Structure 1
Amino acid sequence: MSLKNKVLAVGAVIAFLAFSSVFAGKENALVGTWRMVSATVESQGSRSEAYGPNPHGWLVFTPELTFVEVLTDPRVPVFRSNARGEGTDEENRAAMAGSIGFFGRYTVDQNGEFTGNTVLGSTFPNWVGAVRTRDDLQLKVDGDQMVEDFRRPDGAKVHIVWERVK
């Protein structure tokens, strides 16, 4: 076997092992773009809409195992100043409470189901570096619908329903 063929064969084996270790079974069920349908928070027996009655949010999972998520409450008022860094304390507080954006890496098991993620960047600095597993965050895909459930550090339960964007 020529050196060129050996290099190609080794490359093919490495590529096969890399992809088979990630997707040893079924297709990655998360890949795609998802639109937030609803988001509720349950705390101390009370239930509320996390981002209002018509929340805006997108969640994107790439085949390369990266994700980006942005959630907003469209009721958050615009800043009087048109400069993002010049909001009043009240405007900044409302914007922070009514939105979040973050990105990172995620993992799936041999069935293509979510197993965890690592936040690499976030508009909420406390989340940067956070590692969440299925014990902390559950994502269940059923066709073109996905349900996300997790518990905040304060004990509140968050339930988000997503639909696949086509």
Structure 2
Amino acid sequence: MSLKNKVLAVGAIVVLSACSSVFTSKENALVGTWRMVSATVESQGSRSDAYGPDPHGWLVFTPELTFVEVLTDPRVPVFRSNVRGEGTDEENRAAMAGSIGFFGRYTVDQNGEFTGNIVKGSTFPNWVGAVRTRDDLQLKVDGDRMVEDFRRPDGTKVHIVFERVR
């Protein structure tokens, strides 16, 4: 390895170490497992439950700045077939409309507050690669309660409340 490459490698390690200490020196308010307690959508003045009156969902934020979110409507009927991928058009439509699952990476600021995320995988393929900043998606933590607010491309407002799982 040339001297130039050695210097670059050492520099990269120093930068990565410094970045890691920034995140570990401040408390990341998001870290933990969160359970969805309510989810509403509002469109053209009409408000409804996004995942039914008793929504099921979990949102997990790791200290390594990864996240996984799965939200479901427990009223979605089971498929007639027990083989995944063999649902009818109607069953698949209901499952797609009544659930979402996605994962990726997220960022926080020096105060440990959400600043954005990038979706690496999703049950809704259009979200893969999506980058959202706090201008697009707001996550506000207040103790053991977190509120998520965002607006869909069609203008629909989404409001989800989570409680920290102990």
Q: Normalising by structure 2, report the TM-score.
A: 0.89
Aligned residue in 1 for 2:4: none
Cα distance in 2 for residues equivalent to 1:141 and 1:59: 13
Aligned residue in 2 for 1:64: 64
Unaligned runs of 5+ in 2: 1-10
Aligned residue in 2 for 1:50: 50
Aligned residue in 2 for 1:4: none
SS at match of 1:81: coil
SS at match of 1:87: coil
Cα distance in 2 for residues equivalent to 1:122 and 1:11: 31
- Whichever residue aligns with residue 162 of structure 2, its letter is W
Cα distance in 2 for residues equivalent to 1:105 and 1:13: 22
Q: CA deviation at 1:14?
A: 5.4
Equivalent residues of 1:23, 1:109 under 8 A apart: no
Unaligned runs of 5+ in 1: 1-9
Give the share of equivalent positions with the same residue, in percent. Answer: 86
Equivalent residues of 1:23, 1:112 under 8 A apart: no
Cα distance in 2 for residues equivalent to 1:38 and 1:71: 11
Cα distance in 1 for residues equivalent to 2:127 and 2:88: 24
Once the two structures are superposed, the pairs formed by residues 3-18 of structure 1 within 5 Å of their partners are 16-18=17-19
For each residue in 1:68-89, what CA deviation from the matched residue of structure 2 results, as whole angstroms up to 9, or x when unmatched?
Answer: 0000000000001111111000
Aligned residue in 2 for 1:144: 144
Cα distance in 1 for residues equivalent to 2:57 and 2:71: 4
For each residue in 1:45-92, what CA deviation from the matched residue of structure 2 results, as whole angstroms up to 9, or x when unmatched?
Answer: 000000000000000000000000000000000001111111000000
For each residue in 1:16-45, what CA deviation from the matched residue of structure 2 results, as whole angstroms up to 9, or x when unmatched?
Answer: 512234356x30000000000000000000
Aligned residue in 2 for 1:35: 35
- Whichever residue aligns with residue 133 of structure 1, its letter is T
CA RMSD of aligned residues (A): 1.9
For each residue in 1:80-111, what CA deviation from the matched residue of structure 2 results, as whole angstroms up to 9, or x when unmatched?
Answer: 11111110000000000000000000000000
Equivalent residues of 1:36, 1:56 under 8 A apart: yes
Equivalenced residue count is 157
Cα distance in 1 for residues equivalent to 2:63 and 2:17: 15
Cα distance in 1 for residues equivalent to 2:155 and 2:19: 38
Aligned residue in 2 for 1:119: 119
- Whichever residue aligns with residue 23 of structure 2, its letter is V
Aligned residue in 2 for 1:19: 20
Q: Normalising by structure 1, report the TM-score.
A: 0.89
